[in-house]
Amino acid sequence: MRESQRLRAGTDARQARAELILDVTAELLQSHGYRRVTVDDVAKRAGIGKGTIYLHWKTREALLWAVLRRETTRLMQTLVLALSTDPELALPHRLMSAIFVEVSHRPLVKALLLSDVEILGVLAEDEAVALAQQELAGNKNYFELVHEQGLLRTELGIDQAGWLLETVMQGFFAAAESSADAAMSLHQRATLLEYTLRRTLEPDATPSDAAVRALNAQVVALFEAIAAEQQNEVRGTE
């Protein structure tokens, strides 16, 4: 009996096979970049037939996007877990510093943030990349929550705050790629990012515990919603 018949839609085995395909694709994409990763390569490395991959994702691009979505989903899930034990992590300077550190350990998410053509190829020009960047750095919904709790500088509008954050984050990520930045540790760079964002985006006064807890709950809900939306597209056709 053919593999596609044995592994019925929705079964654990089919989902496990999808995860294997994503693991292999992520490894190849990170190592070789968009232009050099083919469905044939993935099938050979995963030890399955090429047609089996198309049972999950109809195109090569859909498969590669699924890999990127899974990486961003995992990032969101990691942040949600951290937020559950540290309410102040929801504040802009803390949260973006945590994202900076996490993304630095996730090359595919970093490529997404920086529109890395070497890794993403033509996907870097897709409008979905811009949307993903806004979710990770400069999310308008996030700043609406920050503003709602009185935790955004009064002279800044939500759009202005988002633009500032996106620009600063991309600058820090880009600097991390330069040789001049090699002497500075990731912790040192994250600390400087905290310093910059604390003084750029947040009021000078110490925030109230109530406002911080309220923001934390809202940010957790926001990130869980983003992760759930991404997760729906990760495994392809079940």
How many Cα atoms occupy the beta-carbon half-sphere of 234 within 13 Å? 24
The CA distance from 96 to 168, in Å, is 10
Residue-level pLDDT, tens digit, the chain, 238 residues:
344 445 555 578 888 999 999 999 999 999 999 989 999 999 999 999 999 999 999 999 999 989 988 998 899 999 999 999 999 999 999 999 999 999 999 999 888 888 888 888 888 787 777 767 666 665 678 999 999 999 999 999 999 998 999 889 888 988 877 655 567 889 999 999 999 999 999 999 999 999 999 999 999 998 888 888 777 666 555 4
Closest C-alpha to 139, from 114, 117, 120, 164: 164
Contact 9, 238 (CB under 8 A): yes
How many Cα atoms occupy the beta-carbon half-sphere of 107 within 13 Å? 12
State the pTM of this model.
0.83
The CA distance from 100 to 181, in Å, is 15
pLDDT at 72: 87
The CA distance from 28 to 43, in Å, is 11
Question: How many CB atoms are closer than 10 A to CB 161?
Answer: 24
pLDDT at 145: 94
How many Cα atoms occupy the beta-carbon half-sphere of 68 within 13 Å? 29
**Which domains are assigned to the chain?**
3-234 (1.10.357.10)
The CA distance from 164 to 159, in Å, is 9
Per-residue pLDDT of 126-161, as tens digits, reads: 777 776 766 666 567 899 999 999 999 999 999 999
pLDDT at 180: 57
Handedness of CA 133, 124, 51, 43 (dihedral sign): negative
Three-class DSSP category at 92: helix
Closest C-alpha to 171, from 142, 137, 135: 137
pLDDT at 20: 94
Across 100-129, b (16+ Cβ under 10 Å) vs e yields: bebbbebbbbbbbbbbbeebbbebbeeeeb
Question: How many CB atoms are closer than 10 A to CB 85?
Answer: 7
